Amino acid sequence: MSPSPLPPSPSPSPLPVLELAPVVPVVVVEDVSDAVPLARALVAGGLPAIEVTLRTPVALDAIRAIADAVPDAVVGAGTVISPAQVADSVAAGARFLVSPGWTDALLDAMKGSGVPFLPGVSTTSEVVALLERGVTDMKFFPAEAAGGTAYLKSLGGPLPQARFCPTGGIGPTVAPEYLALPNVLCVGGSWMLPADAVAAGDWARVEKLAREAAGLVP
């Protein structure tokens, strides 16, 4: 008789990161000199978990700068889509990883990274596949386009063990509706980082908006 399959190996849980605040800022850094003051403003406003997306050439440098200069920030890498980016992000100082979707190769790399991670899902089959692999905490993306709160509420019945950080199209008006769902741990968004404020270096405005986001309740 063949031996029973081994259970999935445990993965680093992103839960402690996701419990730091109700909102994870999703940051696109165009100028690396903005990274540190931007992170300080977010932390001062009560949003210490910061996702820097790998969408610009300076993203890894921005992660490195924040990790070095803002010890109260828990900086992570977003838009991680390859095993190479997993390795580069962790080497730069990322303390968690976020992907918009996942493949077996990417999931294996994230599991082996030693840091918490959130693989992205937008369908029930993807959620079930991750649960099979021992992953319970996921990014729901693109949240509004993929069905929003109604979709997540529907998933809660058959798949109560799955928990989500919805990201994509979420602003301060709709965020409390997501946060009221029992299977939502936090939300991701960038509304506290208006482009004109970042361009002007108006970090006081960023801090104010971050404080308002940190105070969001269902």
Residue 158 corresponds to which tokens in the numbers above?
A: 């058959």
Q: d(Cα 187, Cα 60) in Å, to the nearest integer?
A: 23
Cα 88–Cα 90–Cα 94 angle in degrees, nearest 5: 120
- Tell me the torsion sign for CA atoms 152, 142, 184, 8: positive
**CB–CB of 116/12 below 8 Å?**
yes
State the Cα–Cα distance between residues 54 and 62, nearest whole angstrom: 10
CB of 51 closer than 8 Å to CB of 188? yes
> Residues 19, 139, 153, 177: which is the catalytic one?
139
The CA distance from 159 to 183, in Å, is 9
**74 has which bridge partners?**
49
Does residue 51 carry a catalytic annotation? yes
User: How many CA atoms lie within 13 Å of 41's alpha carbon, on the beta-carbon side?
Assistant: 23
User: Which position among 30, 51, 111, 212 bears the catalytic label?
Assistant: 51
Residues with a known catalytic role:
51, 139
